[in-house]
Amino acid sequence: MGFGCPEVSNKSNQSVIFMYRLTVIPGDGIGPEVMEAALYILEVSEIDFSYETAHAGNECFKRTGSTIPDETISTSKKSDATLFGAVTTVPGQKSGIITLRKELDLYVNLRPVKSYEGTPFLFEGLDFVIVRENTEGLYSGVEKYTDDGAEAVRVVTRGACERICKFAFEYARKNMRKKVTAVHKANVLKKTDGIFKDTFYEVAHEYNDIRSEDFYVDATAMYLITKPQNFDVMVTTNLFGDILSDEGAGLVGGLGLIPSANIGDKNGLFEPVHGSAPDIAGKGIANPSAMILSMCMMLKYLGEVEESQKLEKALTKVLRDGKVVTPDLGGVASTMEMAEQVKTIFEGL
């Protein structure tokens, strides 16, 4: 299967009007491989959709001189959701994914950390979510060289703190979560993280049905190793969220099992967090799990909760059985062989 827009048809080949319009950005490295696997499964779902392929990343830069052309941004803005594979970012190039997050004002980065039976997790039964502010902090990119080195500005605004904290509490309420934990370093970063912590508790007063607490980021890093079961929903700033998310991935078997959602008020973008893995690109052995789970998150975002749950259930069964999985999961299956197994189970649910 290629990445061109499919014919307008449903399972009985009758003409239909698509319910959802998606932008698909395969990227480079293993991005196109895991994207093909995900779309192969999506085509047998019960929802109607069309998709348009757009481009980003280093291979795109080689062809066009841009890591993220204006057409890609425009296409994503007009879509109901965007699926993003993986891209290689070369030092000195503009980051395609960060640019897209900013252009679409995707201020939430949502990363579930969940143990799946049959995978090399360190802790059984983990199921927590990291809500990361996606637009500010040190990742604002406000830097300059000085006579003695360089300086970076850490941007933290009350408005951004308020909306990310509200998202965390709303997510907790809608998903029957019981606690939200703020992560910061306000004992040292008294002004920037002081604003974040104060805003968190101001928002928490509006959600008396949900427990609230806060920890310093260094303590949180330790608690993720010593007692990760105590976390439910975690909310934090950009850099801290990036680091803690990867630590969380290590608890449940690695980045190959971690999806993510980038969400704003008008758009949503969904991507695995494993990167482009150029060392295995083209070998057909990339683990498609994170891409499939990202697609589950997209379906839930679109309101297709039943289809999302069915797809995750199908993948969970494949992981638990361990018979048709990629080498990083202890198997010998190719990317598309694993996708075929997930698709077969998904169709039968």
Burial group, residue 227, by CB count within 10 angstroms (0-12, 13-18, 19+): exposed
Return the CATH fold of 1-104+267-349: Isopropylmalate Dehydrogenase (3.40.718)
pLDDT at 145 over 50: yes
Q: Within 10 A of 210 (CB to CB), how many other CB atoms are there?
A: 18
Per-residue confidence at 4, pLDDT binned at 50, 70, 90?
very low
The helix (run of H) or strand (run of E) holding residue 124 is none
Catalytic-residue membership of 246: yes
Average pLDDT, the chain: 93
pLDDT at 1 over 50: no
CA-CA-CA-CA torsion sign (205, 207, 212, 214) = negative
Is the pLDDT at 253 greater than 60? The verdict is yes
- Contact between 193 and 158 under an 8 Å Cβ cutoff? The reply is no
Is 171 noted as a catalytic residue in this protein?
Answer: no
- Does domain 107-256 match CATH 3.40.718.10? yes
Q: How many CB atoms lie within 10 A of CB 332?
A: 11
Which residue's structure tokens are 């310093």? 216
91-105, 189-203, 211-225, 233-247: the lowest-pLDDT one: 91-105
pTM for the full predicted model: 0.92
Q: Two tokens at 229?
A: 């079961």
For the chain, give every residue range classified as CATH 3.40.718.10: 1-104+267-349, 107-256
Give counts: helices (H), strands (E), the chain: 11, 12
Cα 90 to the center of its chain, rounded Å: 21
Residue 321 a catalytic site member: no
**Residue 218: active-site member:** yes
Q: Give the percent of the chain with pLDDT over 90.
A: 89
72-112 pLDDT per residue, tens = 999 999 999 999 999 988 888 888 888 999 999 999 999 99
Query: Catalytic residue at 148?
Result: no
> Using one digit for the tens of pLDDT, what is the confidence trace for 254-282?
999 999 999 999 999 999 999 999 999 99
Considering the candidates 185, 197, 300, 310, report the single residue annotated as catalytic: 185
Q: What is the pLDDT of residue 91?
A: 85
b/e per residue 292-323 (b: at least 16 CB within 10 A): bbbbbbbbbbbebeebbebbbebbbbbbeeee
Residue 3 pLDDT: 22
The pLDDT confidence band at residue 11, using thresholds 50, 70 and 90, is: very low
Q: How many residues does the chain have?
A: 349
Say if residue 8's pLDDT is above 50. Answer: no
Give alpha helix (H) positions in the chain: 31-42, 58-64, 70-77, 96-103, 158-174, 192-204, 217-226, 238-251, 289-301, 305-321, 335-348
Catalytic residue among 116, 242, 300, 301: 242
Band (pLDDT 50/70/90 cuts) for residue 151 is very high
List 139, 193, 197, 214, catalytic entry? 139
In this predicted structure, the answer to whether residue 288 has a pLDDT above a threshold of 80 is yes
Residue 7 has pLDDT above 70, yes or no: no
Question: Pick the catalytic residue: 218, 227, 265, 283?
Answer: 218
Residue pLDDT, tens place only, 18-77? 689 999 999 999 999 999 999 999 999 988 999 999 999 999 999 999 999 999 999 999
